[in-house]
Amino acid sequence: MPPPDPALHDPVPGQLALPGLPPVDGQLLLPGFAGVAAPSARSSHRGTPLAAPPSAATIERFRSKVVVTPGCHFFVGAVSNPDGYGRINFLDGAVQRTIGAHRFALILAHGDLGPDVVGEHQCNETLCVRVGDGHLKLGTQAGNLAYAVATGRHLGPTPAYADPRGRYGRALAIRDALIGGYDADRLHAALTSAATAGAAGPTLF
């Protein structure tokens, strides 16, 4: 019996080896077809440093999706499900990046952030991108958890956590209320409709 082909048993991680065809990094080779390089991955890891500062066009696009109110500055772009945070996509060098809108706001205010840095929402509104005391500030995961315990946020009695619509549902309601610009009545309705949503109680079907 001929010895086993090592290419079939010890492929290079992330590659598919076929008989008679050497694996090529980042490619899938099939008989009769030239290898096609895999596309660059979209990076959303919190600790991945930026290749370059955000472009003026990216910053302008971000700012065009921020609605300023007397309290929070709300991001009205894409919203992540289920956590309810805003998300922004942009080209960072040759890589398409997706990061939280609140983290992007902190980058604009403080420069690129290290992997241990998180954004703390003291206002407890997931879509808020207002950098400053009482709203969004730099923190650490340990500090953020300590703040949650100190304020009881870990138990859920905050607007975003206690809302029966869930964090994502609440964020969508706020975004939809503000997507055409600041309207105090519409925002108030979005913020307070949680009580209405919970008052009806669960349904059987």
pLDDT 10s digits, 103-141 = 999 999 999 988 888 888 899 999 999 999 999 999 876
| Spatial distance between the Cα atoms of 38 and 76, rounded to a whole number of angstroms | 33
pLDDT in tens, 148-174: 555 555 445 455 567 889 999 999 999
pTM for the structure as a whole: 0.68
Question: Does residue 41 register a pLDDT over 60?
Answer: no
Percentage of the chain surpassing pLDDT 90? 47
Contact call for residues 21 and 29 (beta carbons, < 8 A): yes
Provide the token pair at 122. 């003291």
Q: How many CB atoms lie within 10 A of CB 76?
A: 21
pLDDT of residue 158: 54
Is the separation of the CB atoms in 163 and 125 below 8 Å?
Answer: no
- The yes-or-no verdict on residue 146 having pLDDT over 70 is no
Query: Is pLDDT above 80 for 145?
Result: no
